[in-house]
Structure 1
Amino acid sequence: MVALELTDARNKLEDLSGIKLEPGENPYTALIRTCNDNPAEIQTLYSVHRTKRNAQQAEKFLDPNFKELIIDQYLLRLEDQTVEPGFRDPRNCLVFWARPPDHVVRLAARLQELLKQAAPNVWLMPTHKMHLTALEVAFSKTPDEIASLVSTLRPAIPSIVNYPYSHRSRLVKPMISYDLSAFAVSFLPAAGEDPLSPPPVEPIVTDGITQGDEYTYHHLRRDVFDQVQAGGVEVGSRYQVPSAHITLGRYLNHQDHDTPEKRANWVKAIDEINQWLEKEVWDNPDSEFVGEWIVGQEKGLDARNGTLWYGGGRTIMLGEGF
């Protein structure tokens, strides 16, 4: 089998935060330090990252010299077996995912509907496979390499997957983020917004629970990183950018974007969806959709390995939700 090019190779998720790491430093600690451990500053950094990136991508779609989308050659072969009959994805990974609660899945499904209206030929992530990558431990390894890492980390996994039960971080302000290979709904760490989520399942436990916006999603990622390293496994993530996103879909062909008019319509559709989100969903207790996510609600972290790129693989352990 010819080695296929990763979409990441042509579509690098550049860290636009400007954070400088000390040697050997937890990258999440570095961002928190740069932001003076201030939730508002952390939110701003996440916001600047996604806003800058969307602006960059819009320029690419609207460029008169636009060449092509970046089609995921692995997904193309998995979805269309006529391209390479019998193709199997060889890329094995080890991750900790956050699984969205029902109200976030409902919002994500609605966003998929709106995007599908604008581009009928896109591939959509099945809702039951949706996830937010809290930490990617290892990627593009063989099954045996991943099995060895799982064996090393196994004693630490229960405390990691249950960690959000007692350390509750909040995500708000959903927005469509996109590039030449995929599109996602991204969130920002909360910083004092009024609560919108449905209450946890009763009885509501508060003893020993860290909550409030001083403990952000970036703090959660910092702590998971430290726990994995303490468990004896070196974290080999592709990126640790200030982003909290659920992939909604990818492009499998050029049919919806093969003219300047179609590409302009795509950018316009995303802008309109984002305006709707900001106006109707953000900070709106009367909205049909809830745009807030307290990580760990309904399910704890999902320790997972296998061919995970498109929501696949298997669960090693799923943590307790609230």
Structure 2
Amino acid sequence: MGSILQSTDIENKLVDLSGAKIQKLYAAHRVKRNAQQRAKFLASDYTGLIIDQYLLRLENPQIEPGFDPRYCMTFWGRPPIHALELAEAIQNRLKAVAPAIWLMPLHRMHITTLEVAFSRTAAEIEALKETLKPAIPHIASYTHRHRSRLVKPMISYDLSAFALSFLPAASEPPLSPAPMAPDSVEVLRQGDSYTYHHLRRDVWEQAKDAGVTVSSRYVVPSAHITLGRYLTEADHATPEQRRKWVDAIDEINAWLEAEVWDNADSKLIGEWVIGQEKGLDVRVGTLWYGGGRTVQMGEGF
């Protein structure tokens, strides 16, 4: 369930649109995709979940100890505490329906703002890091003065994983905690004209200008944090179980829309600004499922 644009043509076409139109495109993508995935789960010719064999081996090291050679380099946004609280509440609801699912640990949760390279050797990633080194401090703290807000969370899912997806904000009322001082009036008044889509474009261009060819996998309008994956068919083996699963996701999404979206009185906050508490996490290593190591963490607010 990837989130990165690798085509500058697509990127440039979208950033020329208003925030409201960008939000509409993101929303249409996730609603259409969920409908497609629901149909796959309920199909009479259902062929099974897509079990991630790498994660299966990481969770069960005795299968093939020390097997994962896939080194990567990414720029992650780290969710603030209130976004993690929302993610945990949703994970708990999903776990009640499907006890055997694998859940992403909260301390590993992230949104992939840019995937620079994936499935390379350690030496290749080290070389990329060295090329990017002069630009890394600026990229890591870029969100301190370029703030993009995400709103309207809902579960997106497919046969391999499930995630909490967000939309770029478009004049919704602010809900998350205010930035702490000192923050300039200029930054505070930036508003929603600078969207998450603009942030991804800017980070992509900075990596390119530093001399790196970005090798992202996905060309989709999405902003999400992975909630979990499947390691077994145990909870989805029968048509009844699969219907229970997709119905539960629909119910949670209805609850989010009715009780959490745009609701200042909700105990759970359905909004976050990229860079709250922490800047971008420039990360290398075997990053799958939240692993790897930090090269530099940017300044938060």
Q: Is 1:123 matched with 2:106?
A: no
Q: C-alpha displacement at 1:203, in angstroms?
A: 3.0
Q: Distance in 1 between matches of 2:234 and 2:46?
A: 15
Q: C-alpha displacement at 1:201, in angstroms?
A: 1.6
Question: What letter corresponds to residue 66 of structure 2 in structure 1?
Answer: F
Equivalent position to 1:192, from 171, 175, 179: 171
2:19 and 2:193 in contact (8 A); partners too: yes
Question: What letter corresponds to residue 139 of structure 1 in structure 2?
Answer: F
Equivalent position to 1:29, from 1, 9, 12: 12
Q: C-alpha displacement at 1:210, in angstroms?
A: 7.1
- Structure 1 match to 2:60: 80
1:166 and 1:209 in contact (8 A); partners too: no
2:72 and 2:119 in contact (8 A); partners too: yes
Question: What letter corresponds to residue 188 of structure 1 in structure 2?
Answer: L
Q: String of CA shifts for 1:258-281, please: whole Å, max 9, x gaps.
A: 000000000000000000100000
Q: Distance in 1 between matches of 2:210 and 2:93?
A: 43
Q: Distance in 2 between matches of 1:185 and 1:203?
A: 31
Q: String of CA shifts for 1:175-225, please: whole Å, max 9, x gaps.
A: 000000000000000001011011112233334667211100000000000
In structure 2, the residue corresponding to 1:94 is in which secondary structure?
Answer: strand
Q: Distance in 1 between matches of 2:175 and 2:249?
A: 24
Q: C-alpha displacement at 1:29, in angstroms?
A: 1.7
Q: Distance in 2 between matches of 1:139 and 1:230?
A: 19
Question: What letter corresponds to residue 142 of structure 2 in structure 1?
Answer: Y
In structure 1, the residue corresponding to 2:172 is in which secondary structure?
Answer: coil
Equivalent position to 1:111, from 86, 90, 112: 90
Q: Distance in 1 between matches of 2:90 and 2:271?
A: 15
CA RMSD of aligned residues (A): 1.8
> Between the two proteins, what is the percent identity of the paired residues?
61
- Structure 1 match to 2:274: 295
- Structure 2 match to 1:235: 214
Q: Distance in 2 between matches of 1:26 and 1:90?
A: 32
Q: String of CA shifts for 1:278-312, please: whole Å, max 9, x gaps.
A: 00000100001000011101000000000001100
1:163 and 1:300 in contact (8 A); partners too: yes
1:167 and 1:209 in contact (8 A); partners too: no
Map 1:166-315 to 2 at 5 A. 166-207=145-186, 211-315=190-294
Q: String of CA shifts for 1:77-134, please: whole Å, max 9, x gaps.
A: 11012322x1331101000000000000000011110110111000000000000000
Q: Distance in 2 between matches of 1:192 and 1:293?
A: 14
In structure 2, the residue corresponding to 1:242 is in which secondary structure?
Answer: coil
Map 1:151-166 to 2 at 5 A. 151-166=130-145
TM-score by length of 1: 0.90
Q: Distance in 2 between matches of 1:211 and 1:110?
A: 31
2:3 and 2:222 in contact (8 A); partners too: no
Equivalent position to 2:18, from 30, 34, 38: 38
Q: String of CA shifts for 1:40-88, please: whole Å, max 9, x gaps.
A: 000000000100110000000000110110000000011012322x133
Q: Is 1:54 matched with 2:54?
A: no
In structure 1, the residue corresponding to 2:76 is in which secondary structure?
Answer: strand
Q: Which has the higher mean CA deviation after the structures are superposed, 60-69 or 200-209?
A: 200-209
Unaligned runs of 5+ in 1: 1-7
Change (3 A) 1:102 1:221: same
Q: C-alpha displacement at 1:167, in angstroms?
A: 0.5
Q: String of CA shifts for 1:203-255, please: whole Å, max 9, x gaps.
A: 33334667211100000000000000001001100013100000000000000
In structure 1, the residue corresponding to 2:290 is in which secondary structure?
Answer: coil
Question: What letter corresponds to residue 216 of structure 1 in structure 2?
Answer: T
1:26 and 1:222 in contact (8 A); partners too: no
Q: Is 1:64 matched with 2:82?
A: no
Q: Which has the higher contact order (CA 8 A, sep 6+)?
A: 2
TM-score by length of 2: 0.96
Q: Distance in 2 between matches of 1:56 and 1:309?
A: 26
Change (3 A) 1:207 1:193: closer
Q: Distance in 2 between matches of 1:285 and 1:267?
A: 28
Question: What letter corresponds to residue 235 of structure 1 in structure 2?
Answer: V
